[in-house]
């Protein structure tokens, strides 16, 4: 059931960044941890060339500092506390890690090595997090890292020409990465829009824009499990339009479609925020009310009944109105099907009693 919920959870499509963050950042985090292994390999090769001494100590210190920053970056990629500005944290921490390792190369080896920069691009997982990164967000921390590295080089006795050499190398590299970022971001945006539309088509009733039957049942099962686990109340409203066939016969199927659309909008606007509203078929709707007692469910049902009766509908200049009968069921129930059967039974009792009313076993 948790698997179904993750597939159908609307929160995953709330934003473009959130959608890709869930999918890309775990892999980018693993890639970052793998980058620490690359740093260790470079340290071993430097140990072979330099031996133990002051230069290797500088390289080790720089590599440890860079690795700690990489660990922090990987943690940011997955920790919910950083959700709001996650990408900016990733870029700044990654570039600071790059700066530490480049500075270590300058001080220890007496020359500028571009290998840490190239390695950091991979550890940042640019190709993985590209859909999340705007060109400006990428450019600013990178320029800051380049300037700070130039300052380290100047303090270590390098001439201005060496810093210009670094800059001349970096500008084409940045330009190339910006092109990749733009292409990736445009492609990712199109993929997100397509995925969101496919998700809507798979989970939403086209006419009412409410959850379709399959989606509603899966979400309802999950809500029922939570209610039983935490001992919370739960109520179900089954709603059916009165004389819906008469509307179709007298005014045409366009009027019937208009009724379904209007009911979908009304149920979205008038149901409590935590409610799960769905169209189960035809003119039959279900509204599941988590953490709702029988008394409160009856109040919600009566509010919806009155709102439906007052709903102003018009087709080709001809006004008409509808009413609905509502059946209410509450826990305990062994399953969603059992809850639906009880609410459906109450619904038919409401129709038998004259329609346009609410019925519940606890009324």
Catalytic residues: 283
Rounded Cα distance between 288 and 280, Å, is 12
- In 3D space, the residue among 87, 76, 75, 85 whose CA is nearest the CA of residue 185 turns out to be 87
What is the SS3 assignment for 211? strand
- In 3D space, the residue among 33, 61, 27, 32 whose CA is nearest the CA of residue 46 turns out to be 61
The helix (H) or strand (E) run that includes residue 198 is helix 160-203
Cis upstream peptide for 280 (omega within 30°): no
Q: Using alpha carbons, list the distances in angstroms from residue 24 to 7, 179, 299.
A: 16, 20, 45
> Tokens 């059931």 identify what position?
1
Q: Are 297 and 291 in contact (CB under 8 A)?
A: no
324-330 and 313-315: which strand pairing? unpaired
Rounded Cα distance between 212 and 357, Å, is 25
> Tokens 């539309």 identify what position?
197
Task: Provide the 10 A C-beta neighbour count for residue 27.
Answer: 13
Give 297-345 as a DSSP string.
HHHHHHHHHHHHHT--EEETTEEE---EEEEEEES--SSHHHHHHHHHH
Structure tokens at 42: 């470079």
The helix (H) or strand (E) run that includes residue 100 is helix 86-109
Strand partners, 281: 284
Q: Are 237 and 276 in contact (CB under 8 A)?
A: no
Rounded Cα distance between 103 and 321, Å, is 76
Give the distance from CA 232 to its chain's centroid.
Answer: 27
Rounded Cα distance between 236 and 276, Å, is 9
């Amino acid at each position: 059931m948790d698997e179904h919920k993750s597939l159908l959870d609307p929160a995953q499509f709330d934003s473009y960044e959130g959608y890709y963050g869930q999918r890309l950042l775990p892999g980018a985090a693993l890639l970052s941890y793998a980058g620490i292994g690359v740093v260790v390999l470079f340290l071993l090769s430097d140990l072979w060339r330099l031996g133990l001494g002051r230069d290797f100590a500088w390289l080790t210190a720089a590599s440890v500092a860079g690795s700690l920053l990489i660990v922090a970056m990987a943690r940011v990629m997955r920790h919910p506390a950083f959700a709001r500005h996650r990408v900016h944290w990733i870029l700044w921490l990654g570039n600071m890690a790059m700066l530490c390792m480049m500075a270590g190369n300058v001080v220890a080896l007496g020359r500028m090595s571009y290998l840490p920069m190239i390695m950091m691009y991979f550890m940042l997982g640019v190709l993985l997090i590209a859909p999340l990164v705007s060109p400006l967000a990428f450019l600013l921390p990178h320029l800051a890292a380049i300037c700070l590295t130039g300052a380290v080089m100047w303090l270590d006795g390098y001439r201005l020409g060496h810093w210009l050499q670094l800059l001349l190398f970096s500008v084409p590299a940045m330009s190339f990465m910006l092109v990749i970022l733009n292409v990736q971001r445009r492609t990712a945006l199109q993929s997100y829009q397509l995925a969101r539309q496919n998700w809507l088509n798979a989970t939403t009733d086209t006419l009412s824009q409410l959850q379709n039957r399959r989606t509603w049942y899966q979400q309802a099962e999950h809500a029922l499990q939570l209610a039983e686990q935490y001992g919370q109340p739960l109520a179900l409203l089954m709603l059916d339009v009165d004389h819906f066939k008469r509307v179709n016969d007298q005014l045409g199927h366009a009027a019937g479609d208009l009724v379904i659309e209007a009911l979908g909008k009304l149920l979205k606007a008038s149901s409590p925020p935590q409610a799960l509203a769905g169209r189960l078929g035809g003119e039959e709707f279900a509204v599941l009310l988590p953490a709702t007692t029988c008394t409160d469910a009856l109040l919600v049902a009566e509010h919806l009944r009155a709102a439906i009766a007052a709903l102003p509908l018009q087709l080709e200049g001809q006004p008409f109105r509808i009413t609905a009968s509502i059946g209410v069921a509450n826990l305990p129930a062994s399953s969603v099907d059992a809850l639906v059967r009880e609410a459906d039974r109450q619904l038919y009792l409401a129709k038998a009693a004259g329609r346009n009313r609410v019925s519940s076993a606890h009324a």
